[in-house]
Amino acid sequence: MTETELVRAAQKGDESAFEELVRTYEKKIYHLSLRMCNNQEDALEIAQETFLSAWRGLRFFRGDSSFSTWLYRLASNAAIDFLRREGRQSALSGLSLDDESLRLDPPDAPAASPHAHLERKELRAALEMGLMALSAEHRQILLLRELQGLSYEEIAGVLDLDLGTVKSRISRAREKLRKYLIQSGNFPPPSSSKRTNEG
């Protein structure tokens, strides 16, 4: 059965069809949840809540967007609701900032020196604090773009926003994170000068 056929069957109450959809997406949904809360047990709870919401709300799924986009929306909202309910912030690591993009989990150098390893650890901590300083919405949109690799159009579908809003929100989120890193001394300000110790 195709995914569309599985969705239609599940909408009619076919639990085995829905279980197949869960098997298809459970790892991706869990991975997104884990990145949002940085705790395996919490991520499992968020993922379970996502699929429970999907099962309960499947009859309302009209197919205006893809099933995966709809699931990402449920998972993303469930994660933000969970973090707010628990009074927690996302504790992400493994990020590096590179002009217009963020790169999640860049490969470690084959034989990083202790000094390089320490610098990398410090950068991760700074990025974690920077992400925690962002609003839940800005953190959410960066995760969808940089972790899940969704296009602007897909994010617009997930968050039910127009394309211009998605682009501006991502731009603002990146700029806020960059500004935080510059102010904390963990990222050089944009300048033709190589002097970074002024001020």
DSSP 3-state percent helix, strand, coil across the chain (nearest 5): 65, 5, 30
The structural domains of the chain, with segments of one domain joined by +, span 1-88, 92-189
pLDDT of residue 187: 65
pLDDT of residue 22: 95
pLDDT of residue 180: 84
Task: State which residues of the chain have pLDDT below 70.
Answer: 87-112, 117, 124, 128, 132, 147, 186-199
pLDDT of residue 88: 54
- Domain 1-88 -> CATH class: mainly alpha
Q: What is the DSSP letter of 65?
A: S
Q: Which helix (H) or strand (E) holds 40?
A: helix 40-57
Q: How far apart are CA 133 and CA 41, in angstroms?
A: 24
pLDDT of residue 112: 58
In degrees rounded to 5, what are phi and psi of residue 192? -75, -15
pTM above 0.75, yes or no: no
Per-residue model confidence as pLDDT tens digits over 99-138: 344 444 444 445 557 777 677 777 767 776 777 678 778 8
CATH of span 92-189: 1.10.10.10
The residues pairing with 103 across neighbouring beta strands, listed in sequence order, are: 96
pLDDT of residue 192: 47
Contacts of 188 (CB under 8 A, 6+ apart): 182, 196
